[in-house]
Amino acid sequence: MNKNTAYLFLRLSMGINFLGHGLVRLTKLQDFADGMAKGFEKSWLPQLFVQTFSTALPFLEFSIGLLLILGFKTRIAVMAGASLIILLLFGSSTVENWEAMGIQMIYAGLFYILISRTDDNYLCVDRK
């Protein structure tokens, strides 16, 4: 039972983290997207791609966070979260933001735990 409870708390923590990121950014979507695009001006990534991704990112974060909190479609949510982290790592590398990449690697490790321990995801909507 302890491993199920531990999984619940990690899933909820990641869910609240992602939901919070998305929610705060959705309230100032254009400013967030413009600021992120500005931060990638020196990158070789096309600005249209960066602007589109920056606009979609809060919606993705919010959705992944909500699914994790509810424990609904958890496998899809953790795979989506891990995939999003990979995209963020790639983007951060194009502007040599090594500090952000270090933090993103922590997220990657936490998603590794969530993915590898999905059998412990007992306290969730998926089990109903």
pLDDT value at residue 1: 79
**Residue 68 and residue 13 in contact, taking contact as beta carbons nearer than 8 Å:** no
Q: Report the mean per-residue pLDDT for the chain.
A: 96
pLDDT in tens, 35-87: 999 999 999 999 999 999 999 999 999 999 999 999 999 999 999 999 999 99
With H, G, I as helix, E, B as strand and everything else as coil, classify residue 13.
helix
Counting Cβ atoms within 10 Å, is residue 118 exposed (0-12), middle (13-18) or buried (19+)? middle
4: left (phi over 0), alpha (psi -120 to 50) or beta: alpha
Query: Domain residue spans in the chain?
Result: 2-120
pLDDT surpasses 80 at 128 = no
